[in-house]
Amino acid sequence: MRTQVGIIGAGPAGLMLSHLLHRQGIESVVLEKHTREYVERRVRAGVLEQGTVDLLNETGVGERMRREGMVHHGIHLRFGGGTHRVALDELTGGRGITVYGQQEVVKDLIRARLEAGGTIQFSAEQARLLDLDTERPRIQYLHDGAPCELECDFVAGCDGSHGVSRRSIPDGVLAVLERTYPYAWLGILAQAPPAHDELIYAYHERGFALFSMRSPKLTRLYLQVEPDEQIEGWSDDRIWRELHARLETDDGWRLNEGPIIEKGITGMRSCVVEPMQYGRLYLAGDSAHIVPPTGAKGMNLAIADVRVLAQALAAYFETGDTTALERYSPTCLRRVWRAEHFSWWMTSMLHRSPGDDAFQQRLQRSQLDYIVRSRAASTSLAENYVGLPLDWGRTDV
């Protein structure tokens, strides 16, 4: 088999890239190791920046999101017994976020690609990337146990943090810059109507908690837990007790409880690889960078990367000009590092670390207080939260 762009991974990055390339008349094949059912069911992030929403709409895959997504104009910070709203729209000239599950974006993109006659090879196992430093890179993989080979002009590594793409780059080429955090998030999805219409980030002496949602019938909630915590140690009862303790305040607001239909624990990590390219392999999304979930940036960064990559590939296939491809990594990394800083900052401000003393806690409280009292400080949070302009990473300005 031959194609112009071989894409590893059918997450938001890989699927959106395939969709954008198709709109530019460029052929691609997506190879995904899991089944369609698996990738469409996986519960992941759920906050779309304005720029992500705009791109989905402009490229014709926003119809269900416009119907089912929940547009939010503010978020809430809860600390010291009070709740404070950050008015995202007022502070950013009318921008906001849309709450719409990552797997819904994935479903919409898979449908759009298949309806347009695109090829997504699910259950493509044991992918191996070859000849990346030549003009004819190849991907070998197994499908139904049979060996297959895809010859391409370019390979896009959109296979997440545990994928094969990054590991296919020779040692010593990439710099890997990392932080781990001494806590994890326990996340649940509950069949309960959200008790509040906007997200609530809670700083609490028992640890961080987050109130979010997926639909008018589904509440999404998170708790800071120990990094090595096992989910078996958390009965539904214990989870609800902890959520009530950390999220509820004295003004009488109460969470709605309901059956827990999904629960899991995710570690917290920051990681960036530089550059996001080797030969004819371009890394995009989680395969190139990980952010802790506190800033809700993961999926948005993945979409921003492939927007840049699709434009650069289109320029190349149209004119043979490689300038935009050469700028791919520095262009993306400017946005990536802004999101890395924002996510690290939100995380550090809102979590309790083991060994934190009273001094550290006063610093966190002072920072939260500054955000809600200073328009400059809340504007900075809001600007980062709704997402930076599309041309943020331009290297020619």
Q: Is 72 a catalytic residue?
A: yes
Residue 177 Cβ vs ligand PHB, minimum distance, rounded to whole Å: 22
Give the Cβ contact number of residue 105 at 10 Å.
Answer: 28
Residue 290 Cβ vs ligand PHB, minimum distance, rounded to whole Å: 14
Contact in structure between 218 and 306 (CB atoms under 8 Å): no
**Helices assigned H by DSSP within 116-186:** none
Decide whether 142 or 245 has the Cβ nearer to ligand APR: 142
Q: Which residues contact 278 (CB under 8 A, 6 or more apart)?
A: 132, 133, 169, 170, 173, 174
* Backbone phi and psi for residue 5, each to the nearest 5 degrees, phi listed first: -125, 120
Contact between 309 and ligand APR per CB under 6 A: no
Decide whether 75 or 332 has the Cβ nearer to ligand PHB: 75
Active-site hit among 12, 297, 328, 351: 297
Q: Is 385 a catalytic residue?
A: yes
Q: Which residues contact 127 (CB under 8 A, 6 or more apart)?
A: 8, 31, 33, 139, 140, 141, 159, 164
* DSSP E strands, 195-259: 200-202, 209-215, 218-225
Residue 159 Cβ vs ligand APR, minimum distance, rounded to whole Å: 4
Three-state DSSP state, 393: coil
27 by Cβ neighbours in 10 Å (0-12 / 13-18 / 19+) ranks as: middle
Q: Name the β-bridge partners of 192.
A: none
The Cα–Cα gap between 62 and 144 comes to 34
Q: Which of 292, 293, 387, 393 binds ligand PHB (CB under 6 A)?
A: 293
Decide whether 114 or 261 has the Cβ nearer to ligand PHB: 261
Residue numbers 200-239 binding ligand PHB by CB under 6 A: 210, 212, 220
Interface characters, 214-243, with ligand APR (x: CB under 6 A): ------------------------------
Q: Which of 158, 189, 223, 273 binds ligand APR (CB under 6 A)?
A: 158
Contact between 368 and ligand PHB per CB under 6 A: no
Q: Which residues contact 117 (CB under 8 A, 6 or more apart)?
A: none
Q: Which residue has the tokens 């690609």?
A: 113
Contact between 285 and ligand APR per CB under 6 A: yes
Which residue number is nearest to ligand PHB in terms of Cβ? 212
Query: Residue 286 touches which of ligand APR, ligand PHB, none (CB < 5 to 8 A by kind)?
Result: ligand APR
Contact in structure between 149 and 259 (CB atoms under 8 Å): no
Residue numbers 43-102 binding ligand PHB by CB under 6 A: 45-47
Q: Which of 20, 296, 302, 333 binds ligand PHB (CB under 6 A)?
A: 296
Tell whether the torsion through CA atoms of 24, 161, 52 and 124 is positive or negative.
positive
Decide whether 53 or 91 has the Cβ nearer to ligand APR: 53
Binding site for ligand PHB (CB under 6 A): 45-47, 199, 210, 212, 220, 293-294, 296
Residues that are catalytic? 72, 201, 293, 297, 385
Binding site for ligand APR (CB under 6 A): 8-14, 31-34, 39, 44-45, 102, 124, 127, 158-160, 163-164, 285-286, 298-299, 302
